[in-house]
Amino acid sequence: MREESAKLVAVLALPPVVAFDAAIATQVFGHEGLGRYRAVLCSTAAGPVATTTPGFGITVEAGLEAVAAADTVIVPGFRRGPVPEIALDALRAAHRRGARVASICSGAFALAQAGLLDGRRATTHWVHAADLAREHPAVEVDPGVLYVDEGSVLTSAGLAAGLDLCLYLIGLDHGPQAAVRRARHMVTPLHRAGGQAQFRLASSAPAGGRLREVTDWALANLDQPITVADLARRAMLSTRTLSRDFTAELGASPRAWLITARLRAACILLESGDLTVEEIARRTGLGSAANLRLQFRRAYDTSPLAYRAAFRVAPGGQDVPDRRRSRPGLD
C-alpha cells in the first residue's frame, strides 16, 4: 500500500500530556504495518511538550496543521484544565469536515470543552467520570465501559483502555482479522472481559457522625442477613430517616450501600485466596453463588472467576498469572 493512501492519525498531545496514552496511539497506528496508517504526534506547536510524569518530556514533530489534515484525531489524557482555544477550534474544524475524533482517558474533557460530546454518550477514566458529568451536563457519561463509539466521536476509559479503543478502530477500518493481528503483535487480548467497572472497586466508604457506628457494625457482620430495619434499629432511627441520612452522607440508600459493601468484601476474598464462589457468597452475606454472580455482573459487568483471574494476588504479594494465556494463539 502506497504512503499516499495511508490514513493520517494525528495524536494531539495537550500539555502536560499523559505519556502512556500518547504512546499507545502512536505505537498502535505508527507501527500498524502495510502502510495503512501514518501517525503524527502533534500539539499546538511543534517542539517540546511536558508530560504528567516528572522528568519525562517528549518532543512532537508537528503543530495543529496535522489535525487539520488528519483522517482521525486522537486526544490522549492530559492534566485537566482549560484547553487552549486554538486547539478546541482545531478539533471542531476537524469534526466539521468529517474527521473521526477520539479521546483516551481525560482527553474526553478536551472533546467536551469543544462541544463535541454534547448530547452524546461518552466515557473517561472512572476517577474523572463524576467530574466530567458535573462539568458538562449535556454529556451522557457512562463510567462503566472501556470505550464508547458514537460514530464520528469516540471516547475511552483510562490508560490501557486506550489500547482497546485503538484496536477497535483498526477493526472498524480494516476488519476483525486486522485487529486480531495487531493485538497478537502487541501481546494483548483483542477484547477484555467486562468494562472498567471492575477496576472501579465497590466503595464501602466509612461514614462519619452517628452513622459511623452503624456502618462499622455492618462491615464487621457482613456474613449476617442484615436488613435496612436492622441498620435503623442500630442507629436508633426510623428507616425513613436512616435512608435520608445515608443518601446525604454516603450518596446511596442503605440497601445499595450494603450491597456495595458486600461486593467489596467479595472482591477482597477473590483477590487473596482460593475460596469457592459459594463460600465467598456465604461469608459476604450474598447468600448463594448465583446471587453473587448476578450482583457481580450488575456491578462490574464481569464474573467473579474472571475477576479473580485478572486480579488475584499470591500470598507473597505477586500477581498470580493466568497460565492459560501462555498457550500460543490464545489471544
Mean pLDDT of 127-149: 92
Specify the pLDDT at position 194: 54
CB of 185 closer than 8 Å to CB of 167: no
Task: Give rounded-to-5 percent helix, strand, coil for the chain.
Answer: 45, 15, 40
Can you spell out the DSSP letters for 6-49?
SEEEEEE-PSSB-HHHHHHHHHHHHT-STT-EEEEEE-SSSEEE
Mean pLDDT of 63-68: 98
Q: What is the pLDDT of residues 184-218, one digit of tens each?
A: 887 776 666 555 654 554 444 445 566 888 988 99
Of the residues 42, 105, 166, 267, only one is catalytic, namely 105
- Cα-based angle 49, 51, 54 (whole degrees, multiple of 5): 125
Tell me: pLDDT of 328 over 50.
no
Q: CATH number for the domain including 250?
A: 1.10.10.60
Specify the pLDDT at position 301: 77
Do 136 and 267 have their domain in common? no
Within a domain: residue 21? yes
Mean pLDDT of 94-109: 98
Residue 105: active-site member? yes
More confident residue, 225 or 190: 225
Q: What is the pLDDT of residues 150-160, one digit of tens each?
A: 999 999 998 88
Can you spell out the DSSP letters for 243-286?
HHHHHHHHSS-HHHHHHHHHHHHHHHHHHH----HHHHHHHTT-
Tell me: pLDDT of 327 over 60.
no
Tell me: pLDDT of 220 over 70.
yes
Compute the mean pLDDT over every residue in the chain, rounded to the nearest whole number: 85
Within a domain: residue 285? yes
Quick one: pLDDT band at residue 112, thresholds 50, 70, 90?
very high
Do 186 and 240 have their domain in common? no
Name the least confident of 74-83, 177-186, 267-276, 312-321.
312-321
Specify the pLDDT at position 322: 42
Within a domain: residue 325? no
| Cell output for 262 | 458486600
More confident residue, 236 or 108: 108
Name the least confident of 119-133, 246-260, 305-319.
305-319
Of the chain, the percentage scoring pLDDT greater than 90 comes to 56
Quick one: pLDDT band at residue 166, thresholds 50, 70, 90?
very high
Do 263 and 166 have their domain in common? no
More confident residue, 197 or 35: 35
Mean pLDDT of 309-319: 61
Q: CATH number for the domain including 97?
A: 3.40.50.880
Mean pLDDT of 178-186: 82
Specify the pLDDT at position 190: 63
Do 281 and 149 have their domain in common? no
Quick one: pLDDT band at residue 50, thresholds 50, 70, 90?
very high
Q: What is the pLDDT of residues 272-286, one digit of tens each?
A: 888 999 999 999 999
Within a domain: residue 157? yes
Do 182 and 218 have their domain in common? no
Specify the pLDDT at position 300: 78
**ω into residue 76 within 30 of 0, thus cis?**
no
Query: Which residues span the domain enclosing 123?
Result: 3-194
Q: Total structural domains in the chain?
A: 2
Of the chain, the percentage scoring pLDDT greater than 70 comes to 85
Tell me: pLDDT of 141 over 50.
yes
Quick one: pLDDT band at residue 34, thresholds 50, 70, 90?
low
Do 17 and 161 have their domain in common? yes
Q: Among residues 117, 86, 104, which one has the least CA distance to residue 26?
A: 104
Name the least confident of 106-110, 122-126, 246-250, 302-306.
246-250
Do 137 and 259 have their domain in common? no
